[in-house]
Amino acid sequence: MLRIGMLTSGGDCQALNAAMRGVVKGLAANVDELEVYGFENGYKGLIYGNYRLLTSADFSGILTRGGTILGSSRQPFKLMRTPDENGLDKVEAMKQTYYKLNLNCLVILGGNGTQKTANLLREEGLNIIHLPKTIDNDIYGTDVTFGFQSAINIATDAIDCIHTTAASHNRVFIVEVMGHKVGWLTLYAGVAGGADIILLPEIPYDLEKVVEAIQRRSRKGKGFTILAVAEGAISKEDAALSKKEYKAKVAERKYPSVSYEIAAQISDKLGSEVRVAVPGHTQRGGSPCPYDRVLCTRLGAAAAKAIMEEDYGCMIAMVNNKTKRVPLGDVAGKLKMVDPGGQMVKEAKRIGISFGD
């Protein structure tokens, strides 16, 4: 009897169900006896023993279903070694749940914080398989994460829709795209949506350069400008601050986000109205796109193979369009950032897109 546990942790995305389905179908087609235990609401379910035995019916019809059938929650890695309000040792509790169910392995789907806890459990002796999920595409060691392409499609659609109203009213529009620490989603959606200016966390912007880019378009007879701005976009002045100083400044910011601050600054300098559109959590929602469905099916099948071969302690990555097992210890805690001097940024600049630098 093969017994596996599954959980989804951190922010949700469109293809979590598709990935779980891929794992289970890959095992069910090759293993005579299989039990799958689903832990509810991420690591919480593993800590407090909230789980249910899943059947084949649970994985039927979920390839196209967004969100996660198991529920999710955010459990900060830095607090995993801190007892809960009742003094419970979370790490020991997770281990006890694992051994109580006599699991052969635990399949964990999530992003960077989730991955760090997965690696902690590996270090504690549990058999772990990690599947890289995040719309931010910032997990080190894999070319792409599932959820990323679906989010690109939604963010690009938002920029597409803004184009028509921006052109009609000859306005400057800012579309705020998710991404606090990295700008992959903003970069791809900005290029795909034809944004004129793209502001990323990895490339601190100079407001004067942003204004110059808008004025340059105006001189060429372009009545509107669209900016794709990442949530974590940062000015050169703010980038020069210490982490503590910047955190204090953000806490005192009178605007809901950096996009509204940039809009106010542009408006003051140009004397014209600037509008902000925030797609927000729609970027995480809806059905997974076909690309993500294929990606998750492949990652799931590869995870199933690793489980059958008892090759644990790894993340199932996609490298050069091939699935690959990457040791968790080699990638946990690392971020994959946009390279400011990378080919894609250079090519975007070559066609006239400004990055405010």
Residue 249 has pLDDT above 90, yes or no: no
Strand, helix or coil for residue 237:
helix
Residue 140 has pLDDT above 90, yes or no: yes
What amino acid positions are annotated as catalytic residues? 136
User: What pLDDT digit, counting tens, does each position of 301-324 carry?
Assistant: 999 999 999 999 999 999 999 999
Strand, helix or coil for residue 101:
coil
User: What pLDDT digit, counting tens, does each position of 175-209 carry?
Assistant: 999 999 999 999 999 999 999 999 999 999 999 99
Residue 107, pLDDT score:
98
Closest alpha carbon to 2 in 39, 29, 42: 29
Run of H or E residues at 210? helix 207-219
Strand, helix or coil for residue 343:
helix
Contacts of 353 (CB under 8 A, 6+ apart): 190, 191, 195, 196, 197, 198
Residue 237, pLDDT score:
93
Among 235-239, 244-248, 328-332, whose mean pLDDT is lowest?
244-248
Residue 62 has pLDDT above 90, yes or no: yes
Residue ranges of domains in the chain, CATH in brackets: 2-147+288-331 (3.40.50.450), 151-284 (3.40.50.460)
Task: Report residue 252's pLDDT band, with 50, 70 and 90 as the boundaries.
Answer: confident
Task: Report residue 167's pLDDT band, with 50, 70 and 90 as the boundaries.
Answer: confident
